[in-house]
Amino acid sequence: MDMSQIVDWSREALKMALLLGGPPLVVALIVGLVLGVGQTLTQMHEPVVAQIPRLLAVLLVVLVILPWIVGRWVTFAVEVFDAIPQLV
Protein backbone atom coordinates (compact mmCIF):
# COMPACT_ATOMS: atom_id res chain seq x y z
CA MET A 1 0.00 0.00 0.00
CA ASP A 2 1.39 3.35 -1.04
CA MET A 3 1.69 6.17 1.48
CA SER A 4 -0.05 8.60 -0.88
CA GLN A 5 -3.07 6.29 -1.00
CA ILE A 6 -3.25 6.29 2.81
CA VAL A 7 -3.03 10.08 2.88
CA ASP A 8 -5.77 10.37 0.22
CA TRP A 9 -8.09 8.01 2.11
CA SER A 10 -7.45 9.85 5.35
CA ARG A 11 -8.20 13.18 3.67
CA GLU A 12 -11.42 11.82 2.20
CA ALA A 13 -12.45 10.35 5.56
CA LEU A 14 -11.90 13.70 7.28
CA LYS A 15 -13.87 15.51 4.58
CA MET A 16 -16.70 13.00 4.95
CA ALA A 17 -16.74 13.43 8.74
CA LEU A 18 -16.93 17.21 8.40
CA LEU A 19 -19.59 16.98 5.70
CA LEU A 20 -21.80 14.60 7.68
CA GLY A 21 -21.24 16.15 11.10
CA GLY A 22 -21.30 19.76 9.99
CA PRO A 23 -25.04 20.44 9.68
CA PRO A 24 -25.97 19.21 13.19
CA LEU A 25 -23.05 21.10 14.69
CA VAL A 26 -23.97 24.32 12.89
CA VAL A 27 -27.58 24.02 14.07
CA ALA A 28 -26.40 23.39 17.64
CA LEU A 29 -24.17 26.46 17.41
CA ILE A 30 -26.93 28.71 16.07
CA VAL A 31 -29.54 27.51 18.57
CA GLY A 32 -27.02 27.83 21.40
CA LEU A 33 -26.14 31.38 20.40
CA VAL A 34 -29.78 32.44 20.12
CA LEU A 35 -30.65 30.88 23.46
CA GLY A 36 -27.52 32.34 25.07
CA VAL A 37 -28.50 35.82 23.94
CA GLY A 38 -32.04 35.21 25.16
CA GLN A 39 -30.80 34.04 28.54
CA THR A 40 -28.51 37.03 28.83
CA LEU A 41 -31.33 39.43 28.03
CA THR A 42 -33.69 37.81 30.53
CA GLN A 43 -30.95 37.13 33.11
CA MET A 44 -32.06 33.53 33.44
CA HIS A 45 -28.92 31.36 33.54
CA GLU A 46 -30.20 27.79 33.75
CA PRO A 47 -28.17 25.27 31.74
CA VAL A 48 -31.19 23.02 31.16
CA VAL A 49 -33.06 25.82 29.40
CA ALA A 50 -30.41 25.90 26.66
CA GLN A 51 -29.68 22.17 26.57
CA ILE A 52 -33.14 20.81 25.74
CA PRO A 53 -33.89 23.04 22.71
CA ARG A 54 -30.38 22.48 21.38
CA LEU A 55 -30.79 18.71 21.69
CA LEU A 56 -34.19 18.82 20.01
CA ALA A 57 -32.89 20.99 17.16
CA VAL A 58 -29.97 18.65 16.49
CA LEU A 59 -32.26 15.62 16.62
CA LEU A 60 -34.66 17.26 14.16
CA VAL A 61 -31.86 18.15 11.73
CA VAL A 62 -30.42 14.64 11.90
CA LEU A 63 -33.83 13.12 11.22
CA VAL A 64 -34.43 15.46 8.28
CA ILE A 65 -31.07 14.85 6.60
CA LEU A 66 -30.74 11.18 7.58
CA PRO A 67 -31.41 9.80 4.06
CA TRP A 68 -28.73 12.09 2.64
CA ILE A 69 -26.27 11.14 5.41
CA VAL A 70 -26.80 7.42 4.86
CA GLY A 71 -26.49 7.80 1.09
CA ARG A 72 -23.19 9.67 1.31
CA TRP A 73 -21.86 7.24 3.92
CA VAL A 74 -22.75 4.16 1.88
CA THR A 75 -21.25 5.68 -1.29
CA PHE A 76 -18.01 6.40 0.54
CA ALA A 77 -17.88 2.90 2.05
CA VAL A 78 -18.51 1.27 -1.35
CA GLU A 79 -15.69 3.31 -2.92
CA VAL A 80 -13.29 2.29 -0.15
CA PHE A 81 -14.26 -1.38 -0.33
CA ASP A 82 -14.00 -1.38 -4.12
CA ALA A 83 -10.46 0.00 -3.91
CA ILE A 84 -9.22 -2.70 -1.50
CA PRO A 85 -8.79 -5.54 -4.08
CA GLN A 86 -6.60 -3.30 -6.22
CA LEU A 87 -4.19 -2.89 -3.32
CA VAL A 88 -3.80 -6.60 -2.54
Provide the whole-model pTM. 0.76
pLDDT of res. 29: 94
Instruction: Report d(CA 82, CA 48) in Å as an integer.
Output: 46
Instruction: Report d(CA 3, CA 74) in Å as an integer.
Output: 25
Instruction: Identify the band that residue 9 occupies on the pLDDT scale cut at 50, 70 and 90.
Output: confident
pLDDT of res. 45: 79
Q: In this predicted model, what pLDDT tens digit does every residue of 11-69 receive, in sequence order?
A: 988 999 999 999 999 999 999 999 989 888 888 878 777 889 999 999 999 999 999 99
